Chain A
Amino acid sequence: MMNNFDRMLSSEDVMRRRASFLQRIHVDGPLLIILLTLAAGSLFVLYSASGKNWDLLLKQATSFGIGLVSMFVIAQLEPRFMARWVPLAYLTGVLLLVVVDVMGHNAMGATRWINIPGVIRFQPSEFMKIIMPATIAWYLSKRTLPPHLKHVAISLVLIGVPFILIVRQPDLGTALLILASGAFVLFMGGLRWRWILSVLAATVPVAVAMWFFVMHDYQKQRVLTFLDPESDPLGTGWNIIQSKAAIGSGGVFGKGWLLGTQSHLDFLPESHTDFIIAVLGEEFGLVGICLLLIVYLLLIGRGLMITAQAQTLFGKLLAGSLTMTFFVYVFVNIGMVSGLLPVVGVPLPFISYGGTSLVTLLSAFGVLMSIHTHRKWIAQV
C-alpha cells in the first residue's frame, strides 16, 4: 500500500517534500547557491580590482544585501498578482521616463535619474529592465501563440515607446538591452522564424541606405569608431587596447590574485566597473574566466529549466526572457572588453561594482524564484 502510494507521486513532488522549507519561503535553492557563489567571487575580484579598497567592498556587500532582500520580497509575490499589476507598472515607468526626458531638456543636459532630494533617487530605465519583459509577457499570454502579426505589431509599439525615451537620455546601451528583453518574450512566444529572418535581412539594406543617403560624415565617423574602437586609440580605443593587453597577458593560469600589473598600474580604466573581466582575465587567466562562465552557464541553465517547468504562459515567457537577457549582459560585456563588440556601457552582471544594477539583477531573479515556487502541484499530477 505504502509502496504503491509512493510510486504514484511524481519525482518533483518528492523534491518538494525534501526542499519544503525553502519552497514555503519561496526561495529556489540552486539559484540561491549560484548567486551567493557569484557574490563571493565578485568581492574577491573587486578587492584586487579596486586596489584593496575596503570601503568599496563594504558598499558592494551592502548592495548585495539590499538586492537579496529585494529578491526575497519579490519572490513572495504570486505571478498572477504580478500579471495583474504589470500594465499599471508599465504606464508608471513610461510616465517616469517622460518626466526624466522633460527634466533633462530643461536642465540643458542629459539625465537618467529621478531625484527627489532626501526621499528617493533612482533610474526609471533600471525599473524598465524588469517591467518591459513582464509587460510583453502579460500581453502575449492572453493571445494565441504563435502571435499574429497584429499582436506582434502592438508588442513592438509597447517596446518602442520606452526604447525611444531611453535612447533620448541618451543611454543607447540600456535602451538596446530593454529592446532585447522585450524581443526575447516574442522569441519565446514562438515568433515565426520567417519574420525573424526577414527583419534581420531587412536590416542590411536599411543600414546601407542610411549610410549613403542619410548620415553626415561626422556621424559616419562616430559609427566607425563605435564599430571599431581601435581606430580611435586616443578615445575609447585606449580602453580596449589596454584591456586586451591585460587579458592576453594573463595566459592560461593568470598572474595570480593581486598581481595583475595592467590594472594595478592604472593602465586599465574603469577596472572595477565595466572592465572588471580584464582584471579577472589578467590575474586568473583563461581558467578563471572559464570558471566564471561555467557559473554563469549554471545560472542560465537553471533559468531555462524554470522556464520550461513554469505552469502559466506568463511565467514561461517572462522567465525565458529574463534568462536570455541575462545572457546578453554577460555576452555583451565580455565581448566588449575582449574587443569583439563595440563599447557600450554594460556592466558584467554580479561582478562589476555598482549597486543599482545589482539590485535590479537580484530582483529579476526574485521574479524567477516566484515563478518557480508558486506552482500548483495538484494541478500538475
Chain B
Amino acid sequence: MSQPIRLKDHEKDARLVRNRVVVGAVAVMLLICVLIARLYYLQIIQYDYHSTLSENNRVHVQPIPPTRGLIFDRNGVVIADNRPSFSLSMTRERAGDWQQVLDSIVEILELTPDDRALFEKRMRQGRRPFEPVPILFELNEEQIARVAVNQFRLPGVEVVAQLVRHYPQGAHFAHSVGYVGRINEKELKTLDPVNYSGTHHIGKTGIERFYEATLHGQVGYEEVETNARGRVLRVLKRTDPKPGKDIVLSLDIRLQEAAEAALAGRRGAVVALDPRTGEVLAMVSQPSFDPNLFVTGISFKAYAELRDSIDRPLFNRILRGLYPPGSTIKPAVAIAGLDSGAVTPSSRVFDPGYYQLPNYDHKYRNWNRSGDGWVDLDTAIMRSNDTYFYDLAHKMGIDRLSSYMNKFGIGQRVSLDMFEESAGLMPSREWKRATRRQAWFPGETLILGIGQGYMQATPLQLAQATALIANKGVWNRPHLAKTIEGEPPVDENPMPDIVLRDKADWARVTHGMEQVMHGARGTARKAAIGAQYRIAGKSGTAQVVAIKQGEKYDRNKLQERHRDHALFVAFAPAEDPKIVVSVMVENGESGSGVAAPVVRQIMDAWLLDENGRLKPELAPVTATQESPL
C-alpha cells in the first residue's frame, strides 16, 4: 500500500524541483541582463565621461579638513584661533625618484640630515595613492620663494596653505585650554581614518583634548580631476566640511591676569570659581609656558628645557598637583563633625597646646604651643585650633570621616571637563589594607582631622570643597566650558548634593570662616583689612618634608624648596557667595601671611569695579552693612 504512494511522491518531488530549476534559470538570465545593462550604461552610455576621467588621469578625492572650532573667554576674547600657514607637501607618485627629490629639498632649503630622516618617515606613513603628504610646516617667505624658484627640480612638490592653531594669549591659558600638536603614530591607530584624513593636528591636553570631537568637526571632500602633473583641472563634486563647534569658556581673561599678577612671580596655583554654577573663572598654574611652541612641533632642545626645569612649567599644579590640604580642610571636617553628632555647636574642648590619645604617650601638638584654653567650634575654626579637630576626628572615627570627605570631593574626580584630573586621595581602612597591608591606627585618624597624613588633594578639589560650603551642599562640578555653540555642557555623572540634618550647620561653619578673616583673633585678619565685603576663609600649610617629634619647624634650617606650601581657600561675599578662590603658593610657608593676600587681590579684582567700589549688582547686599573693620 505504501509502496505506490512513495513512488508517486518521488515523481512529484522531481517535478517540483524541475519547476524550481526553471524558475532559477529565468532568474539567472534576468539578473545577468541587469548586469549587462549596468555595464552597457557604464561602458557605452557613460563611456566619454569615464574615458575622459581616465585619460586625463584621473579622479582624485581630496579631503577638505574642517576648520577647528574657536575658543573664547567668557567675554568673547579669543583664546584659540586658526591662522593660515604654509606647508610643503609631496605626492610620491608624481615625484619620480622621491628619495632624490627629498635630497633636493634638503639642499634647497639648507636643512639638516635629521630633517631629511623626519621627511622620509612622514612619506612612509599610511596614505592612499596620489595623496599629497605634508612634510614641512610653517614655511617662511624665503623658503616659499626658494621652492618656487627651484620648482623644476621638485616634481610632485607643492606649497600648500592651511590653517594652523594659534593661541594669541600665549602662556595665560596653557594649563586650562591646553594645546594641539601633530598627530602621532599612536593616535593615528585610534582615530577615525576618514574624518581625520585631512587633519594634521589633534588636541593634546586641556580643553583642546577634552573637547577634541566637538572642536574638530566633520571632514568634507572634493572629487577633482587633475592632469598628469597633479594640478587640479576642475572640481567634479564637492561636499563642504562641517566646521568644529566654537566653545565659550567660563574663564575671564582679566581675572586670569589679575590672579597671575597676585602670585607675583611665585610658583603656585590659583582656582577661582563661581559656586552657584561651578563655572571656573580663573585657573592659574605658575610658571606656565607658551602653547604655540607645541603646535607645529617643538624642537627637542626647547622641549628638554621645559621638561627639565626645576620650576616644572609643564606641570599642571591645579589638576595634577597633590598636596596635603592642611587646615583648609577644617571647615569641611567641622561640617562632618556637626552632622554626624560628634560635636555640637556649643561643645568645648580644653586645649593645653597638645592632644593625647588615652593610654598613648605621643603628644599631638597644636600649632600654638601655649594652647588656646577652652575652645568651641567657632573659635576652633577662627584660631585653626588643631587640638579641637584632633578630638573631633577621634570622636568621628576614620570610617565616617572618610565617607564625609568623599562627599566633599576629596579622593574623587570633581571636574566636568578637565583632561587628566588627579583624583587625589582620601584614605580609609580598606584603602590602607589594600595598598599597605596594614591595619588602621587611631593616630592616623587624628592627623586627618587637620588635613595631614595620607590625605592628598588638588587645588581644584580644595576649591570645590569650599564651594560646597558656600553653596550649602549643592554640587556643581567645576567646568571650563560655559557654552558649546550656545549650549551649556551637560553633567552626565552628577555628584549627589550634601544634605545635612540641620541646615543651620552651614551658617555656623561659615561664621567661623568669617571670623578667620574679620574676627579680632582671626588668623588671616590682616588680609581682610579694608575689604568692602565679608570674606569667609581658611588658611593652611602643606608640609613638604616631615618634622620629627619634639622638633620645631625652623625655616632657616630648610632649603627654600623644602619649605611648606602656603594654602588658602575662601569665598565672598560671605552672605551671598559669588566667588570661591583656592590658592596654593609653593614653598610660601604661611597660608594666612602669603596665600591669603593673593586671595584678597583676586576677590577685589572680581567683586570691585574700576573705582574700587563694589560692583553695582552687589551693592544692595552691602548697602545695609558696614565695613567690618
Contact = CB atoms under 8 A, between A and B. Distances in A.
Contact of A335 (B12, B13, B35): B35
Contact of A187 (B20, B35, B43): B20
Contacts of A234: 61, 63, 194, 197, 219, 221
A141 B63 CA distance: 56
Contact-residue bracket for chain A? 35 or more
A261 B13 CA distance: 53
A308 B38 contact: no
Interface stretch (A31-39, A282-290, A358-366): A282-290
A327 B194 contact: no
Contact of A245 (B9, B35, B40, B54): B54
A307 B35 contact: no
A293 B40 CA distance: 14
Interface in A296-339: 297, 300-301, 304, 307-308, 313, 316-317, 320, 323-324, 327, 331, 334-335, 338-339
Contact of B17 (A244, A245, A320): A320
Contacts of B128: 238
Interface in A232-270: 232-235, 237-238, 241-242, 244-252, 261-262, 265-267
A247 B54 contact: no
B151 interface: no
B54 A246 contact: yes
Contacts of B223: 233, 241
Contacts of B53: 245, 248-249
B18 interface: yes
A190 interface: yes
A93 interface: no
A145 interface: yes
A144 interface: yes
B59 A249 contact: no
Contacts of A241: 59, 61, 223
B28 A265 contact: no
A327 B129 CA distance: 33
A342 interface: no
A286 B44 contact: yes
Interface in B1-45: 9-10, 12-14, 16-21, 24-25, 28, 31-32, 34-36, 38-40, 42-44
A189 interface: yes
A281 interface: yes
B43 A281 contact: yes
B194 A307 contact: no
A261 B24 CA distance: 38
B51 interface: yes
B20 A249 contact: no
B12 A145 contact: yes
A146 interface: yes
Nearest to B223: A233
Interface in B297-321: none
Contacts of B344: none
A251 B51 contact: yes
A232 B43 contact: no
A51 B240 CA distance: 37
Interface in B207-231: 219, 221, 223
A249 B39 contact: no
Contacts of A247: 39, 42-43, 50
A188 to B, nearest CB: 5
B50 to A, nearest CB: 3
Contacts of A313: 10, 13, 17
A233 B221 contact: yes
Interface in B446-496: none
A50 to B, nearest CB: 16
Interface in A114-148: 144-146
Contacts of B221: 233-234
B156 to A, nearest CB: 14
B93 interface: yes
Contact of A249 (B32, B55, B93): B55
Contacts of B59: 241-242, 245
Nearest to B52: A249
Contacts of B34: 340
Contact of B47 (A251, A304, A331): A251
B51 A249 contact: yes
B14 A316 contact: yes
Nearest to A313: B13
B395 interface: no
B403 interface: no
27 contacts: A189-B16, A190-B16, A233-B61, A234-B61, A234-B221, A244-B50, A247-B50, A248-B49, A248-B51, A249-B54, A250-B43, A252-B44, A261-B54, A265-B129, A267-B58, A281-B39, A282-B54, A286-B39, A286-B40, A290-B39, A293-B36, A308-B18, A313-B10, A320-B21, A324-B24, A331-B31, A338-B38
Given A261-B54, A265-B57, A308-B17, 7 more contacts: A188-B24, A190-B13, A234-B219, A234-B221, A249-B53, A250-B43, A340-B35
Q: Lowest 3 A-B CB distances belong to which pairs?
A: A248-B50, A249-B54, A190-B16
Interface of B: 9-10, 12-14, 16-21, 24-25, 28, 31-32, 34-36, 38-40, 42-44, 46-47, 49-51, 53-55, 57-59, 61, 63, 93, 128-130, 193-194, 197, 219, 221, 223
